[in-house]
């Protein structure tokens, strides 16, 4: 496990008091708005910032323990660090930058140079200098350099934040491949719900220097109390689904979860693939009778579990399904008019277009540079998310 329990007070008035544990495999996302302390935690783990008190342990190695006076130097922590900007050495070729990472490694080299080159698709870039690379190419080289240092832990501090949407679409499949192919745990800092949805296994939701919630992705980001992190209108329910069919004539796909299924715009994944679907609470309507003669494609039968007043006119209605639950954000007037109460049977209505199904591979034909193929495992995981418009 990765165990973190740290406290830090800065002269600026910012305080950090964060405690959480993460598994020693997969991607754990530190998620929250700018200034909440995500990067500070990464820097503490890396050793570039010393906390006032607490403890950091990765597997069997104690990085920091204030009570015991332990504070391993950076070079003995053996972590790989990928920054928001690539920080490649400008006077070196791509190959020299990668070899620098190799020289920083200690002990047995379990990650081979050739394997990294193939995984990240950067063989054709080896003789080039960083200033000739695109933003996405620079980040792939930076990831390669970090991997070649043979890290026990990989730290990624908003590695896609400086990239446009096209370049993000270029990098994400490689990050998926990295997650699925290597046994290196990753702490991934982001304030993008789309990135977290696609990559993370675990989430640590942060606000104002404190951990608001931590645990598996779907339960954490489905909790109404993470609204301060997501924003009131972005809170929703995440379902782990399986693609069960494609309706080619209508460009739709059928996703199944538990004993329910929903139609969504066509997913770029084969039948049987596992995908994540996020349905925002504001996109769920409630009906007392089975919907008919309506444009809404999806309706799921459930029972009202809880009714929680929110700020202003809003109320969150939690609808218990056969397995799991679904939240609906409605007005208090709707609750009164429908006379909703716990135990009532209702139909949750979800528009098919409430879940976006854009491909998470490269952004369509022609966007992939010549001579570069998509990573082989790019379609192994898909996330269905969207930047939704504000309330009209």
Report the C-alpha gap between 204 and 211 in whole angstroms. 7
Tell me: pLDDT of 131 over 60: yes
pLDDT of residue 71: 95
Contact 10, 51 (CB under 8 A): no
Stretch 351-370: mean pLDDT: 46
H helix and E strand count, the chain: 10, 21
Q: pLDDT tens digits for 138-192? A: 988 998 898 888 888 999 998 888 888 888 877 888 888 888 877 889 999 998 8
More confident residue, 15 or 358: 15
The residue assigned the tokens 């994400």 is 172
pLDDT of residue 358: 34
Tell me: pLDDT of 361 over 80: no
pLDDT of residue 107: 63
Element of type H or E holding 16: strand 15-22
Q: How much is the CA Rg of the chain, to the nearest whole Å?
A: 23
**Sheet of 70-71: strands edge to edge?**
70-71, 61-65, 53-58, 2-9, 15-22, 210-216, 202-207, 27-31, 186-190, 153-157, 79-82
Half-sphere exposure of 137 (CA within 13 A, CB side): 19
107-111, 200-204, 237-241 — most confident range: 200-204
Looking at every residue in the chain, the average pLDDT score rounds to: 83
pLDDT of residue 108: 67
Q: Can you list the domains of the chain with their CATH numbers?
A: 2-230 (3.40.50.300), 234-384 (2.40.50.100)
Local confidence band at 259 (pLDDT 50, 70, 90 cut-offs): confident
Stretch 258-276: mean pLDDT: 87
Local confidence band at 243 (pLDDT 50, 70, 90 cut-offs): very high
Tell me: pLDDT of 379 over 60: no
């Amino acid at each position: 496990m990765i165990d973190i329990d740290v406290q830090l007070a800065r002269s600026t008035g910012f305080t950090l008091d964060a405690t959480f544990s993460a598994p020693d495999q997969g991607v754990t996302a530190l998620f929250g708005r700018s200034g909440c302390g995500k990067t500070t935690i990464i820097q503490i783990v890396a050793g570039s910032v010393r906390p006032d008190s607490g403890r950091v342990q990765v597997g069997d190695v104690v990085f920091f323990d204030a009570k015991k006076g332990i504070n391993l130097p950076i070079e003995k922590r053996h972590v790989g660090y990928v920054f928001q900007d690539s920080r490649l050495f400008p006077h070196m070729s791509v190959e020299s930058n990668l070899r620098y990472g190799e020289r920083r490694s200690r002990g047995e080299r379990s990650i081979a140079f050739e394997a990294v080159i193939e995984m990240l698709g950067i063989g054709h870039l080896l003789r080039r200098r960083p200033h000739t690379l695109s933003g996405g190419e620079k980040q792939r080289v930076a990831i390669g350099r970090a991997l070649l240092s043979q890290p026990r832990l990989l730290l990624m501090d908003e590695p896609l934040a400086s990239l446009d949407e096209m370049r993000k679409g270029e990098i994400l499949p490689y990050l998926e491949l990295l997650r699925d192919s290597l046994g290196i745990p990753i702490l991934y800092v982001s304030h993008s719900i789309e990135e977290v949805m696609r990559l993370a296994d675990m989430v640590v939701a942060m606000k104002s220097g404190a951990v608001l919630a931590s645990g598996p992705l779907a339960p954490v980001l489905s909790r109404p109390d993470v609204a301060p992190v997501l924003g009131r209108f972005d809170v929703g329910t995440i379902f782990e689904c399986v693609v069960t069919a494609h309706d080619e004539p209508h460009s739709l796909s059928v996703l199944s979860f538990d004993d329910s299924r929903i139609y969504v715009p066509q997913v770029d994944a084969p039948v049987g693939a596992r995908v994540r679907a996020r349905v925002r609470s504001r996109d769920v309507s409630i009906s007392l009778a089975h919907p008919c003669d309506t444009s809404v494609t999806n309706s799921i039968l459930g029972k009202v579990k809880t009714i929680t007043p929110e700020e202003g006119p809003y109320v969150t209605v939690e609808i218990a399904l056969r397995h799991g639950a679904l939240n609906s954000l409605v007005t208090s007037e709707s609750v009164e008019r429908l006379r909703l109460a716990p135990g009532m049977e209702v139909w949750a209505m979800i528009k098919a277009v409430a879940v976006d199904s854009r491909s998470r591979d490269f952004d369509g034909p022609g966007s992939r540079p010549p001579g570069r193929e998509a990573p082989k495992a790019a379609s192994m995981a898909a996330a269905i998310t969207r930047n939704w418009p504000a309330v009209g």
